[in-house]
Structure 1
Amino acid sequence: MSEDQALDVTDLRVVIVDDHAMFRAGVNHEIGQHVKIVGEGEDVETAVKAILETEPDVVLLDVHLPGGGGAEVIKQVLPTKPDVKFLALSVSDAAQDVIGVIRAGARGYVTKSISSQELIEGMARVAAGDAVFSPRLAGFVLDAFSGAIDIAQVDEELDKLSAREREVMKLIARGYSYKEVAKELFISIKTVETHVSSVLRKLQLSNRHQLTKWATDRHLV
């Protein structure tokens, strides 16, 4: 479908991709009577399969997925299905998540606090070729791509951290105690201490206060 072609929202064909079945069911319930839900995916493999089989107008795509994340889904689909549009729908508004999927080819990024009507309107706009962002993210995205934020540095330094170290880093930067981090991630306090030490060493920081400033400066928390 060409970008300048008008699209009746009731004809909008949508694939929902999220690793939580209850969330997919909730979205389906909220928007299913307004658009055509033609497929679902719970990880990279099932998402790519559903998209290639149904060729939807829009994919509602979670950022964090088993198998490589939302960006990996986009990278596998766009080379053969360039007309499929992706709208990231996530609880995260962290820099690396937003920039990662936009760089991969998503046409927009909204948070899960969005209303059903706003989501439907956003999907229609993305299908028509517009870029759609939650208001709080729009300015940040502009800053990132204008060079106001050194995204290359964010990516390079984050790449040094494992997925678990990133989780620990974000919670520590948000002010969580070691005990609270351990409870949140279902790991021991000793393991939290080990991860924090590793994060500080890799980022060449001395303490959690510097870590908080590092993460805040890069819009990671």
Structure 2
Amino acid sequence: MNQSAEARKIRVLLVDDHALVRAGVRAELANHAPDIDVVGEADDVEGAVAAAHALLPDVVLLDVHLPGGRGGGGAEVVATCTDILATTKFLALSVSDASDDVVAVIRSGARGYVTKAITADDLADAVRRVAAGDAAFSPRLAGFVLDAFGTSTADLAVHDDELDRLTAREQEVMRLIARGYAYKEVAAELFISIKTVETHVSAVLRKLQLSSRHELTRWAAARRLL
């Protein structure tokens, strides 16, 4: 691979207190995502904070349950790294799908949360999305965040004029994408091609004048459409 291709790689810091998990994730990313480079590892809160500041990776992929620090785990790591959040993004990778864990790490500043049941391809896609400044969630986990960060019901009136800009199929795609589904998961759910999903997403963002999946999730949450 030439130097320019190397320069385009997404640099990832891998944080988990289990060496076998780190080795497995590293191997899966190496096999499935040549554009992603694991540049470092850490196994506790202090090590993760130090490595994040020393390496300034594009993405820190971290478990939410980590030893060390004040007992705050992954959420504590993110909260302690607020000074680098502008350039380094955090993506939680955990066996836990508990709402408290999801909300805590997102509240601290992480851009996404996926479970360890995720496939290697979908994990790589989540890393890419977070590196690009977007949000990434395993299906159904986004709802925890939307509930936690939603405003009062009185502030969540549906704007029919905006929703009516979307076709019925675009609304179906919009809801699934806003919930954190990957393109191929949407395609499987709706029995359409990935290319068709991409076309619908582009149309949805254009019609709603939004620029990213993260903005789309907030738009849908504000209207109780999820």
TM-score range, shorter chain: 0.5 to 0.7
1:127 aligns with 2:131: yes
| C-alpha distance after superposition, 1:149-183 (max 9, x if no partner) | xxxxxxxxxxxxxxxxxxxxxxxxxxxxxxxxxxx
Aligned pairs for 1:1-221 within 5 A: 11-33=9-31, 34=34, 35-67=36-68, 68=71, 69-80=73-84, 82-146=86-150
Q: Would the aligned equivalents of 2:13 and 2:40 in 1 still touch at CA under 8 Å?
A: yes
Report the secondary structure of 2:123's partner residue: helix
**Runs of 4+ with >2 A deviation:** 7-10
| C-alpha distance after superposition, 1:63-94 (max 9, x if no partner) | 00012300111111122453110000000011
Report the secondary structure of 1:135's partner residue: coil
Q: Distance in 1 between matches of 2:142 and 2:80?
A: 26
| C-alpha distance after superposition, 1:99-132 (max 9, x if no partner) | 1100000000000000000000111000111111
Q: Distance in 2 between matches of 1:105 and 1:8?
A: 28
Q: Would the aligned equivalents of 1:10 and 1:36 in 2 still touch at CA under 8 Å?
A: no
Report the secondary structure of 1:136's partner residue: coil
Matched letter for residue 12 of structure 1: I
Q: Distance in 1 between matches of 2:84 and 2:135?
A: 21
Q: Would the aligned equivalents of 1:78 and 1:84 in 2 still touch at CA under 8 Å?
A: no
Report the secondary structure of 1:129's partner residue: coil
Q: Distance in 2 between matches of 1:8 and 1:132?
A: 24
Matched letter for residue 118 of structure 2: I
- % identity of equivalent residues: 59
Label 1:10 to 1:30 Cα distance change in 2 as closer, same or farther (>3 A). farther
TM-score, length-normalised on structure 1? 0.60
Label 1:115 to 1:145 Cα distance change in 2 as closer, same or farther (>3 A). same
Q: Would the aligned equivalents of 2:103 and 2:144 in 1 still touch at CA under 8 Å?
A: no
Label 1:76 to 1:107 Cα distance change in 2 as closer, same or farther (>3 A). same
Q: How far 1:8 sits from its partner (Å)?
A: 9.2
Report the number of matched residues: 142
Q: Would the aligned equivalents of 2:126 and 2:136 in 1 still touch at CA under 8 Å?
A: yes
Matched letter for residue 36 of structure 1: D
Q: Distance in 2 between matches of 1:58 and 1:66?
A: 20
Q: How far 1:32 sits from its partner (Å)?
A: 2.5
Consecutive unaligned residues in structure 2, runs of 5 or more = 153-226
Q: Would the aligned equivalents of 2:106 and 2:145 in 1 still touch at CA under 8 Å?
A: no
Label 1:80 to 1:145 Cα distance change in 2 as closer, same or farther (>3 A). closer
Q: Would the aligned equivalents of 1:90 and 1:110 in 2 still touch at CA under 8 Å?
A: yes
TM-score, length-normalised on structure 2? 0.59
Q: Distance in 2 between matches of 1:9 and 1:111?
A: 29
Q: Distance in 1 between matches of 2:90 and 2:7?
A: 16
